[in-house]
Amino acid sequence: SSEVLEAIENVIQGVLQSLAQKKAPVLTVANRADWRNIEFKDSVGLQMIPGCTTKQIRSDCPQSARRFALTLKILSMIYKMVQSNTYATKRDIYYSDTLLFGSQSVVDQIINDISCMLKIPRRSLHVLSTTKGFVAGNLSYTEEDGTKVNCTCSATAVAVPSNVQGIKNLTSHAKFILIVEKDATFQRLLDDDFFNKVSPCIMITGRGIPDLNTRLLVRKLWDSFQIPIFTLMDADPHGVEIMCVYKYGSVSMSFEAHHLTVPSVKWLGLLPSDLERLNIRRDALIPFTKQDENKLASIQKRPYIACQPLWKKELEIMAASKLKAEIQVLTSVSADYLSRVYLPNKLQFGGWL
């Protein structure tokens, strides 16, 4: 915490020095959303390059003066929380003054900018994000406050903890981890008691694009158990994008790649080639939109696809057919086909990429 306080004090000292010299204070933050600032490393995923381009948040410029003021406001809130060893969610910060901040996304962006500028992970800033992910299966752990959580015996899923860093005593006999894209599929597998039937496993869903806590938990489970991690996604560009976030990270959070990515993640399904192999009826598939075409084209150009020839082939099948499918399409074969046939066969015979 002294490191965090010192980093914030240095920023404020810079502001005061500028004012003392009768200059307009300026904050310099990295250009987080620029692909030119990102390099791809097989062992880490997408990470920010050391000498990346920056942008200035000026206090004397009408376009950025408000952003400058809000950044200082949030810095002061973080400083107080670290000092008093209290925590707040990003939502708490927004609701402390909704009129001032204007929207939740403004708060989210500024907090990520601060984390990147100070080179300090968001958890160390005492800012927690609201969790939307769930975990179930063969896993138990102790939360920071001493609460014991057992995911094994509950018929319902457990919410991913909001302070993943603080959990300890993780124990599991799981043979693998299954990341499920969607909540509906996750609940279906839960109802079918999937994590006990095949072999003990841990199931996680980020319910779409995963939040930070879900990604941190996947990484923590990988560090703790070093067991295979498989993803079950829709066979569409959006599903591929989500899988890439778990495996290689995202551009906007590339400055934290070392804590968030798990490059060993495998693509279990739903593969575009599965649709042909299983003779899925054409009328059960969904035609591409223009947005899908653009998204797929942008994914195909990414640096990590070049080192994944089998993924590349699957994306080419998808691009050629211009058709996509949700995991639920497997119910057109039979109601419990996913948990009874599809997943057990894939896991037994190595049908992943």
Residues serving a catalytic function are 95
C-alpha to C-alpha distance for 194 and 84, rounded to whole angstroms: 44
- Distance in angstroms between the alpha carbons of the first and the last residue of the chain: 42
- Say if residues 131 and 161 touch (Cβ distance below 8 Å): yes
- Helix residue spans in 148-225 (DSSP H): 183-191, 194-197, 212-225
Q: 201 is written with which tokens?
A: 């496993």
C-alpha to C-alpha distance for 57 and 15, rounded to whole angstroms: 12
Q: Which among 280, 292, 195, 190 is positioned nearest to 240, based on CA atoms?
A: 292
Calculate the CA 291 to chain-centre distance: 22
C-alpha to C-alpha distance for 255 and 32, rounded to whole angstroms: 8
Q: Which residue has the tokens 């399409």?
A: 329
Cβ neighbours of 261 (radius 10 Å): 28
C-alpha to C-alpha distance for 238 and 259, rounded to whole angstroms: 23
* Length in residues, the chain: 353
C-alpha to C-alpha distance for 126 and 105, rounded to whole angstroms: 18
Q: Which among 114, 115, 154 is positioned nearest to 136, based on CA atoms?
A: 154
Which whole-number Å values give the CA distances from 215 to 152, 247, 257, 344, in the listed order?
20, 9, 10, 25
C-alpha to C-alpha distance for 350 and 271, rounded to whole angstroms: 13
Max Cα distance, the chain (Å): 74
